[in-house]
Amino acid sequence: MIIRAENITKTHRLGEHTVNALKGVSCEVPHGDFLFIVGPSGSGKSSLLYVMGALDEPTSGDIYIGEQRMAALTKKQRDEYRRLQVGFVFQSFNLLRNLNAIDNVLVPFFPQGVSPQLRKDATTLLERMGLGDRLLHRPNQLSGGEQQRVALVRAILKRPAVILADEPTGELDSQSGAEVFRILRELSSEIGSTVVVVTHDTRYIEAGDRILKMQDGQIIGEQTA
């Protein structure tokens, strides 16, 4: 799936101040690409990621998912897009504290009901991530690396067309961070997902295919890894 951003702007209001997080950003992420978006804090990289994932709406400009203009999607279709096409990974893992590891992985499917096959797939993936003995543990019983692996499985289980990761190694040590990228690369290749990773940590960018550099809400450069 190709994700295309055309002249995206995003303006936030912070009290009396207006912050222009994105200032006319245009870019394209081809199918199967593993893209890093790097830049300092406040450069607008997370804002771009959220707009791509339909977690937020741009102030102006258009996002296209393939040929489909996202602004033309109904709310329900955007929900469907997030549910079926996009897998999110966040910096602070964002697991639900009341659910155990397996339920955290399956939570996107709760409204529709979890089939035994899906539960089996989730278990298999978690075991593959080395979490076979952690299935029934709650987030507060897991290490940071383990939590992020659970979050990765949650993002990947639905075999999404796009995986969007926001600072996925931000709260991990370098070893765990490297492990996360190794897994992300491996699983996304297996299922043919497009991956967009936002980070200000350049230690792992060699794992990607392309790198977009952002600063002050604009893309200031692009390079191939």
Contacts to another protein by CB under 8 A:
50, 53, 55-57, 75-76, 79-80, 82-84, 86, 88, 90, 94, 96-99, 103, 107-108, 110-111, 154
Question: In the complex with another protein, which residue's Cβ is closer, 53 or 208?
Answer: 53
Structure-token pair, residue 61: 């400009």
Would you call 105 helix, strand, or coil by DSSP?
helix
* Smallest distance from another protein to CB 65, Å: 14
**Would the CA dihedral through 83, 84, 86, 88 be positive or negative?**
positive
Question: In the complex with another protein, which residue's Cβ is closer, 93 or 210?
Answer: 93
Question: In the complex with another protein, which residue's Cβ is closer, 36 or 81?
Answer: 81
* Smallest distance from another protein to CB 21, Å: 11
* Smallest distance from another protein to CB 142, Å: 16
Question: In the complex with another protein, which residue's Cβ is closer, 84 or 225?
Answer: 84
Task: Render the burial of 49-87: b for 16+ CB within 10 Å, e for the rest.
Answer: bbbbbbbbebeebebbbeeeebeebeeeebeebbeebbb
* Residues whose CB falls within 8 Å of the CB of residue 96, separated by 6 or more in sequence, listed in order: 103, 104, 107, 139
* Smallest distance from another protein to CB 78, Å: 9
* Smallest distance from another protein to CB 223, Å: 28
What order do you get walking across the sheet with 68-69 strand by strand? 17-29, 3-14, 60-65, 68-69
* Smallest distance from another protein to CB 75, Å: 8
For residue 40, give the DSSP letter: -
Closest CA to 169 of 190, 147, 186, 153: 147
Question: In the complex with another protein, which residue's Cβ is closer, 74 or 117?
Answer: 74
Question: In the complex with another protein, which residue's Cβ is closer, 167 or 211?
Answer: 167
H/E run at residue 120: helix 116-128
* 151 phi-psi bin (left φ>0, alpha ψ -120 to 50, beta other): alpha
